[in-house]
Amino acid sequence: MNLVRTAMLLAFMTALFMAVGYLIGGQSGMMIALVFAAGMNFFSYWNSDKMVLSTYSAQEVDERSAPEYYRIIRDLSHNAGLPMPKVYLYDNPQPNAFATGRNPENAAVAASTGLLNALTPQEVAGVMAHELAHVQHRDTLTMTITATLAGAISMLGNFAFFFGRRDNNNPLGGIGALVAMIVAPLAAMLVQMAISRTREYSADRRGAEICGNPLWLASALGKIARGAQIIHNEDAERHPATAHMFIINPLSGERMDNLFSTHPNTENRIAALQDMARGMGGDGSFSASGSTGPVRAANPVRKSRSVPDAGSGRGGSQPPKGPWS
């Protein structure tokens, strides 16, 4: 059902993109928009992973530089039946992680130093299993295309502001220009967020299957969400279009499961995982070295300060941010 829903939403976004082109320039504008979208998607297909890893200054690690972290991903990849992805670490105190790459054979997963400092190996395994689930479902490609289309529709909306008022170019005149400038970009944003939320629930479930214990991921989600409320990710704030890639929204203020959220409500996700754990029974088969302390890397990047204690309340001593901050 999630796959069908995602396909329908992507088809709607493609049709919306072509409609905006039609509103701006008629049939010729629609064809130009289609060619333009194809070109942008082709570029994103080959370069999105390099761009996002560069954005967050992620550094590739191996078994020598981050032995426990690397082994967790290696074992999880084996459980999932996936090729070993490239493993990255980026220096940021906010606990979070993301996956990127056009397909499982060219995938990369990345975790923040804050994530490794704050979570136990079992929780890290739950998080990285979630990211590998995105790779297995090819969500990294789906969301890259979605983000590209949404950005292109917004850009066409800006073009409509300058060219849409010319009645000879716009079949619907001023009304068409208004739709292209305001309605279409808003609709594209809502569709992008709906697709992102749909894929997160699927990745939670598959990630729990890969690591063998849904409660590991449930516990990690709670810690990451509390850490994200307290610690700002400045790189993410400068590049909000990448927010959908993370396991928890890295932007300040996103606390509700509504039309304007790129991620489902964390409490809803935790509840679903807890229900899944009750249905599975037992603790699963994956073993994260039997350790209960944070996962340590052998200094592949500058050491980050740790996240405040996850058990210290919903927002620590600082008041929660509003949804429009």
Of the listed ranges 74-83, 170-179, 208-217, the least confidently predicted one is 170-179
pLDDT of residue 209: 95
Which H or E element spans position 175?
helix 173-178
Nearest one of 181, 73, 67 to 129, comparing CA atoms:
73
* Mean pLDDT, range 310-316, rounded to an integer: 37
More confident residue, 101 or 60: 60
pLDDT reading at 164 higher than 60:
no
- 47-82 per-residue burial string, b: 16 or more CB within 10 A, e: under 16: ebbeebbeebebbebeeebbbbbbebbebbbebbeb
Q: In which order are the strands placed within the sheet that holds 59-60?
A: 59-60, 86-90, 108-112, 97-100
Q: How many CB atoms lie within 10 A of CB 43?
A: 12
> CA-to-CA distance for 136 and 206, rounded, in angstroms?
9
**Structure token pair of residue 252:** 């300040």
Q: With bands split at pLDDT 50, 70 and 90, how would you rate the model's confidence at 243?
A: confident
More confident residue, 240 or 177: 240
pLDDT of residue 325: 29
User: Residue 237 catalytic?
Assistant: no
Each domain of the chain, given as residue ranges in start order, spans: 2-280
**Structure token pair of residue 147:** 């983000």
pLDDT of residue 111: 97
> CA-to-CA distance for 138 and 96, rounded, in angstroms?
20
Q: Is residue 152 packed enough to be buried (19+ CB in 10 Å), middle (13-18) or exposed (0-12)?
A: buried
pLDDT reading at 225 higher than 90:
yes
Alpha-carbon separation of residue 133 from 9, 86, 108, 156 (angstroms): 20, 15, 12, 33
pLDDT of residue 60: 96
Residue 99 pairs in a beta bridge with 109
Q: What are phi and psi of 250, to 5 degrees?
A: -80, -5
**Residue pLDDT, tens place only, 9-57:** 667 767 777 777 676 666 666 677 667 767 766 776 677 788 889 989 9
**Structure token pair of residue 3:** 């796959």
Q: Is the dihedral of CA 80, 206, 294, 231 positive or negative?
A: positive
Q: Please tell me the number of Cα atoms within 13 Å of 288 on its side-chain side.
A: 31
Q: Which of 123, 131, 200, 254 is catalytic?
A: 131
Q: What percent of the chain has pLDDT over 70?
A: 58
Q: Which amino acid is at 43?
A: F
Which H or E element spans position 97?
strand 97-100
> CA-to-CA distance for 18 and 187, rounded, in angstroms?
13
* Mean pLDDT, range 262-275, rounded to an integer: 88
Q: With bands split at pLDDT 50, 70 and 90, how would you rate the model's confidence at 90?
A: very high
pLDDT reading at 63 higher than 90:
yes
Which H or E element spans position 43?
helix 2-55
Residue 87 pairs in a beta bridge with 109
pLDDT reading at 120 higher than 80:
yes
- Would the pTM of this model clear 0.95, i.e. be above it? no
On whether the CB atoms of residues 113 and 90 are closer than 8 A, the answer is yes
pLDDT of residue 284: 43
Q: How many CB atoms lie within 10 A of CB 158?
A: 12
